[in-house]
Structure 1
Amino acid sequence: MTGGAAGATVLWRPSRAAVRDSALIRFARATGHGEDYHDLWTWSVTDLEGFWTAAAEFLGVRWRTRPRCALGSRAMPGTEWFPGGWLSFAEHVFADRDPGKVAVRYASEAYPGVRVWTWADLRRETARIRAGLRGAGVGRGDRVAAYLPNLPQTLAAFLATASLGAVWSAAAPEFGTDAVVDRFAQIEPTVLLAVDGYRHKGRTVDRDTEGRDIARRTGARYVRLGHLDGSGWENGFLGPEDSELAHETVAFDHPLWVLYSSGTTGPPKAIVHGHGGVLLELLKTTVLQLGIGPLDRVFWHTTTGWVMWNILVGPLLADASVVLYDGHPGHEALWDLAEQTGMTVLGTSAAWLASCRRNDVRPLDGRDLSALRVIGSTGSPLAPECYDWVYATFPTKPWLVSLSGGTDVVTPFLGAVPTVPVYRGELGPPALGVDLRSCAPDGRPLVGAVGEMVVAQPVPSMPIGFWNDPTGERLRRAYFSGFPGVWTHGDWLLLTERHTGVISGRSDATINRGGVRMGTGEIYRALLTVPEVQDALAVDVPRPGTHGWLVLFTVLSAGSVLDDALRSRVTAAIRTGCSPRHVPDEIVPLDEIPRTTSGKKLEVPVKRILMGADPDSVVSRGSLANPASLDAFRRAAAHLIPTAREDTLPPGTRPAPAHPFPEKEKS
């Protein structure tokens, strides 16, 4: 098992002063609790109504109309949060801000240096875009689609949309036309805000033709943002300089934005989140779980098509400033940006930190990163060796925060608790209000063993539904088919006796060899001991009459060759680090591993391709960072596994087990 061992090494502890002065401890004391986080968490999941009522008050939720209670119904799905409560998300962002204080720092490959917007700049741009949207016919409940990069204009456009009570939905301009249409056509946007192009890895990518095509195919009015040519919003779109920024009040569950599943196993699900649920969860995550305040400068490397862009709005609710970057991270660019902006929180992906480690990047050489107090990681499990690299690299010992959550909930389920130690290879405890458990197939809660990751009680930012799913059947199939009435997230989770967690990969990509189940993340971690292997993807494909065919696709470092000696070291690493049964039947070198634009590997789609499925029937190429990488698997399907058929796949739904939480059946 990756990490989670008894007596795991402590790599970081918060100072006594930091614990004492944290917003988390102030909240604990205000609600009659002490400094023990587990005690506070236990109260938060045993008294949902009391906890969320207290959290809304402590975090300063501004009700235009106060709710009747915190929970009208706690059924999942279909939870009714804060019935009767009305508010405005955008109003919370701009409330009581100092106009002269910096709100946004931003950089782009399209121009040199770092630029800034004050709160006055952000407010003025938001008001002018709001006027432009109103002029284009956008009102309460209408959809505004954005094909825009990670720029301050995009942030202002979202806030303008929210201020109207309209519904925001974004796709990164790296996405291909078909992938974007697959998303936006579902929601029938009134307006498409689209960029003329962007720069990535020093290359200029034109997007004007694509934007116009997307608008035509979705029936939206096309509004152009001239980013590359510096022309800004098209003539006549923006309102006057003195446009008023007003805020429409909406119900707690009024749609705020529509996010999308990755689209790697069919048409992407259009996931709808509500104003109040997102507001409350982002406030809780930002202020209590991450400890972010007005002096922080917060960055997360993301595109507008990944949920981390949405989560990055959270620090603005805490009067912190955000740092935006539109470009390729390389190995050095983000560390340079951290120095140039005085970044206090640097968020990134596990894959990027692993790449820095493999390439012996030295962030402190020639840079002053003394302001950096938090390094965040998400997107996939962070290997213990990456924990080692961070703490060997930074003698000042920043807080390393490995998070696990998702697009589905716009919040971490676990990982960020500023008052507890960081253990090597482990995520922090479950977040407040998240009744997170690890379950055996029969529904028994597990401690110290790997099980299915589930959430036993509702969280405010769970989806209010999927678009065009009036009966809720698709929503139930997506999250509630494993254990009725309980959210099943699709990850393997080990909860330790210390209440920390270890994620070992997706449960739908588990490799079961002779009854020994292993998450793919554990195989990838074992390969860290083989420096020639830069990246890998493991797939176990059923073959009639056998236990299956385990194929390991590898990307090797420059100059390395997959000869017999290297094959032997790869198999030895997996035999020792995982199990003899998980030694691959075949090792195949590739130029690149297919990933989504948010960095996730395509294990399940590749498995289906190897079983004979047409790649374009199981994955939206436009949602991938490297769509051409799929072609190698079509060729491999005939060569490697000629007898495999897709109909030999085990059923996608497991037999319904005994209900894991009988007490919930009555609620």
Structure 2
Amino acid sequence: MSKQPQAGREEILEYQVMWEPDSKKNTQMDRFRAAAGAASGLALENYDDLYHWSVESYPDFWAEFWKFSGIVFSRMYDEVVDTSKGIADVPEWFKGSRLNYAENLLRHKENDRVALYAAREGREEIVKVTFEELRQQVALFAAAMRKMGVKQGDRVVGYLPNGVHAVEAMLAAASIGAIWSSTSPDFGVNGVLDRFSQIQPKLIFSVEAVVYNGKEYSHMDKLQQVVKGLPDLKKVVLIPYVASKEKIDISKIPNSVFLDDFLATGKGAQAPQLEFEQLPFSHPLFIMFSSGTTGAPKCMVHSAGGTLIQHLKEHVLHGNTGSGDILLYYTTVGWMMWNWMVSALATGAAVVLYDGSPLVPTPNVLWDLVDRIGITILGTGAKWLAVLEEKQLKPGGTDIISCFMGQNFSVPVYRGEIQARNLGMAVEAWNEEGKAVWGESGELVCTKPIPCQPTHFWNDENGSKYRKAYFSRFPGVWVHGDFCRINPKTGGISMLGRSDGTLNPNGVRFGSSEIYNIVEAFEEVADSLCIPQYNKDGDERVLLFLKMASGHSFGPELVKSICNAIRVGLSARHVPSLILETKGIPYTLNGKKVEVAVKQIIAGKAVEYRGAFSNPEALDLYRDIPELQDF
């Protein structure tokens, strides 16, 4: 791994500091750095020293963190990892060890301490579940699952909102050694079947209806069609969520049962005991899915041990999370941040589950929860923050199921940058020649093995899909598909958009986010989409589509102003060849802007998997645009 150029403190000061770490605060990162320094015999004086040790001596780093984290296990490992194998070989980690993911999340014995808070749109009540109550419910769910024949390796899925029962069902499946996967209720029938039909679940949990943005949406017709498309299902468990059980008709759904009747099958003369199957570190825990915007979603299998140790590292070291914390990340069960958030239970922290719109009845919903519950850690995607900025509100982060980079209590926050590369993640930005570059845009790559990479893809027996997804660009090196820039002076990272949508007009390679950062500062623009268009000779030009903000109109003066801003802020070669108005920008169900599918449509290709989009009708806006026909 190449070492980044160093910079003095006086050079770094030219970047705007948004937050400085408290030098008097002894964080868990500080304590780990001291322990790692003592164990290695090295003077690890700061985060930069610790980071470089963690990627250069990665087996020692992960062994030291295993010890520091207090992972619960029944058998110690024989070997951390075979260092003769690279990241493309997907080496086995912590060989010989036995553990259980759910046991680690439920290990905290302060029975009356709150583990989960659950809040919902339109309801004033906040439900509290203690660690003891959570253990009892997980035991009951697991007993009922075992009674119906769920065993190690079976797939258990949730078509569920972000609530307590989703956590209980997931932990119960994990306690048995079954594999959990989930999608949220905003997924349409095709979107769900594109995912679940590939993994053939035995059991599904769902609800009859959800509430979002002030409106109730019945779930029953969708659920009926989903069940019809999953012939291997043995049981459908319906959880009354909006209406009472008496008002819900499940007679049209085969093999269906209400939750309380399902759980009753697990009850005996005495309450069931919580049992944790002791499994290899590499045992499958979750199946996560790619977005599916350009083809069938990839089914990425993540191990129990890899997920656990990586999430613990991020929560304990990078987030300084502990038993005194209360964490809320605004997410759905269809995004990997839900799995990441729930893993915080392993630190003893409480987790807040919120289901509904973050803007109803006011944009202050999440901030109000911060005040009411005493949330100490709040996380969200960029889209919600952009909406708050639009509304001028002044209030008082799937492939690796975790993060290559992120928050860090040890280093400052600089405006426009993610703080630092995470420990153990040998991340670099590479140019087209496969050379590390600093201070300029490049492919986000990871050069050394990590325990959180997928063990394999489901239904990919020879591994060809896996290799094509990550290792076809630079052999032996993980290419994540994102464009980034690593600041050599601060160590911070700027994300520049998907590299499969990289723009390269006249040999100038840049990411769409560089354009968005300038364009969306214009109050006239509500949203934008920047993509390349190619002609039959392979020449490329850049197209910029603008969705206008309410009360503003598209016109030549605005186009001129935007072109000038891009020319001044970036360069003349960044200026789009054509700027057009659009009435809609397509997004995935997880709120990510879609560029590649629009690029396909403009090239005259069909987009098969429309179920992957939250607003598939927006795709049709880009068909047969007259201004694009003569290129």
User: What TM-score, normalized to structure 2?
Assistant: 0.91
Question: For 1:626, which of 612, 615, 619 is the aligned residue?
Answer: 615
Q: Within 5 Å, give how 1:59-98 maps onto structure 2.
A: 59-72=69-82, 74-75=85-86, 76-98=88-110
Letter in 1 for 2:514: E
Q: Within 5 Å, give how 1:50-449 maps onto structure 2.
A: 50-72=60-82, 74-75=85-86, 76-109=88-121, 111-219=123-231, 220=233, 221-231=235-245, 233-238=258-263, 239-240=266-267, 242-330=271-359, 331-364=363-396, 378=397, 407-449=398-440
Q: 1:248 to 1:537 in 2, by over 3 A?
A: same
The aligned counterpart of 1:579 is: 571
Question: For 1:48, which of 55, 58, 66 is the aligned residue?
Answer: 58
> Is the partner of 1:485 in helix, strand or coil?
coil
Q: CA deviation at 1:545?
A: 5.1
Q: 1:43 to 1:410 in 2, by over 3 A?
A: same
Partners of 1:557 and 1:186 lie apart in 2 by 41
Partners of 1:193 and 1:302 lie apart in 2 by 19
2:491 is aligned with 1:499: yes
Partners of 1:333 and 1:51 lie apart in 2 by 40
Structure 2: any 5+ residue segments left out of the alignment? Answer: 1-6, 38-42, 246-256
Equivalenced residues, count: 593
Residues 540, 551 of structure 1: 8 Å contact kept: yes
> Is the partner of 2:564 in helix, strand or coil?
helix
The aligned counterpart of 2:21 is: 14
> Is the partner of 1:170 in helix, strand or coil?
strand
> Is the partner of 1:517 in helix, strand or coil?
coil
Letter in 2 for 1:356: L
Q: CA deviation at 1:638?
A: 4.3
Q: CA deviation at 1:643?
A: 5.2
2:11 is aligned with 1:24: no
Residues 108, 325 of structure 1: 8 Å contact kept: yes
Q: CA deviation at 1:235?
A: 4.2
Residues 148, 173 of structure 1: 8 Å contact kept: yes
* Cα shift readout 1:463-505 (whole Å, capped 9, x = no counterpart): 0000011111110000011111110111122222232222211
Residues 176, 621 of structure 1: 8 Å contact kept: no
> Is the partner of 1:540 in helix, strand or coil?
strand
Letter in 1 for 2:177: G
Q: CA deviation at 1:112?
A: 2.7
Structure 1: any 5+ residue segments left out of the alignment? Answer: 365-377, 379-406, 645-667
* Cα shift readout 1:516-545 (whole Å, capped 9, x = no counterpart): 222100000011331111111111110235
Residues 146, 169 of structure 1: 8 Å contact kept: yes
Residues 504, 519 of structure 1: 8 Å contact kept: yes
Q: 1:643 to 1:544 in 2, by over 3 A?
A: farther
Residues 552, 584 of structure 1: 8 Å contact kept: yes
Question: For 1:485, which of 472, 476, 498 is the aligned residue?
Answer: 476
Question: For 1:473, which of 464, 479, 484 is the aligned residue?
Answer: 464
Q: 1:41 to 1:233 in 2, by over 3 A?
A: farther
The aligned counterpart of 2:447 is: 456
Q: CA deviation at 1:555?
A: 1.8
2:523 is aligned with 1:531: yes
Partners of 1:189 and 1:533 lie apart in 2 by 44
Partners of 1:208 and 1:245 lie apart in 2 by 32
Q: CA deviation at 1:143?
A: 0.4
User: What TM-score, normalized to structure 1?
Assistant: 0.86
* Cα shift readout 1:201-227 (whole Å, capped 9, x = no counterpart): 011111122123212211212111111
Partners of 1:226 and 1:51 lie apart in 2 by 46
**Aligned Cα root-mean-square deviation (Å):** 1.8
Q: CA deviation at 1:448?
A: 1.9
Partners of 2:574 and 2:236 lie apart in 1 by 52
Q: CA deviation at 1:71?
A: 0.6
Residues 97, 319 of structure 1: 8 Å contact kept: no
Q: CA deviation at 1:195?
A: 1.4
Q: CA deviation at 1:229?
A: 1.2
Letter in 2 for 1:142: D
Partners of 1:459 and 1:484 lie apart in 2 by 16
2:629 is aligned with 1:642: yes
Q: CA deviation at 1:110?
A: 5.3
Residues 529, 573 of structure 1: 8 Å contact kept: no
Residues 119, 126 of structure 2: 8 Å contact kept: yes
Residues 301, 456 of structure 2: 8 Å contact kept: yes
Percent identity of paired positions between Structure 1 and Structure 2:
36
> Is the partner of 1:91 in helix, strand or coil?
helix
Partners of 1:303 and 1:537 lie apart in 2 by 25
Letter in 1 for 2:186: E
